[in-house]
Each structure stands twice: as structure tokens, then as C-alpha cells.
Amino acid sequence: MKKESKLWFDLAEEDFHNMELMIKEKSHRASVFFAQQAVEKLLKAFNIEKKHKVPRKTHKIEQLLHDAGLKGYIITVDRIEELSKSYTWVRYPDLSTRFYSKKDITTKLLVTAKELYIWVKHEFKNK
């Protein structure tokens, strides 16, 4: 693996692990933050390693997926865009309290992030 893509990949793994820790601690806002970051960083690693591209400086997962040329994922664009929005929304107390303060609210986002992360990681190994 290229040095730069390995850096992104390792950070993605760390963020995924942190997401799982925050879920156990019932820190819903933090779990969503780390979930979004894990997917974003894994896609950046993919774009460096497999597409030989410098990744965009963006937090929009849908743009990084497009750059990666990954097709065939079963997660809807709406769910992916919602995960992308969470990067910003967790930073604002009024929005994070409204959208990320309870398990039942964050579950859908965390499922989206986990499914997408596992799928991209699988594609990473197979391409």
C-alpha cells in the first residue's frame, strides 16, 4: 500500500474503532462523528491507492464515492447525503442535540456508516 493511502486507511480504522467505543459509551453525537469520518477517510485512501488521485478536500461522502468510481452499493443517495451532513451538524449544539442525542435517532446513520465502511473496505481489497 502507498504510504499516503496507508495513513488515510489507518486513520479510518482508528475512527471506526472510536465509533464503536462511542456507541458502547452511549455518546451518540461522537459515534456519528467518528462514523462519518471513518467512511470519509477510507474513501480517501481508496482514491489514492486505487484511482491514483489526490482526494478532494471535502467531507461529502457522495463526492468521494463518485471519484472512486464505486458502483453497485445498495445504500441510497439520501442516506449517504445524510451521513455527509452529520459531519457539520454534530458540531453545532442546537443541531447535534436535535438530531444526534438519542440512540433511536442515530441508529439509521450508524447502520449506513457501518454498511458503507464494510462495503468500501471489501472493494478496497478486491480492486
In the chain the domains, ranked by start, together with CATH numbers, are 3-126 (1.20.120.330)
Mean pLDDT of 100-107: 91
Question: Do residues 29 and 90 touch, judged by C-beta distance below 8 A?
Answer: yes
pLDDT at 124 over 90: no
Distance separating alpha carbons of residues 40 and 50, to the nearest angstrom: 15
What's the pLDDT at 70?
87
For 28, the grid coordinates are 451518540
Sign of CA dihedral 103, 95, 20, 2: positive
Question: Do residues 19 and 34 touch, judged by C-beta distance below 8 A?
Answer: yes
Average model confidence (pLDDT) for the chain?
Answer: 94
Distance separating alpha carbons of residues 97 and 94, to the nearest angstrom: 5
What's the pLDDT at 73?
76
What's the pLDDT at 107?
95
What's the pLDDT at 78?
92
List, for residues 25-81, the tens digit of each pLDDT value.
999 999 999 999 999 999 999 999 999 999 999 999 999 999 999 887 788 889 999
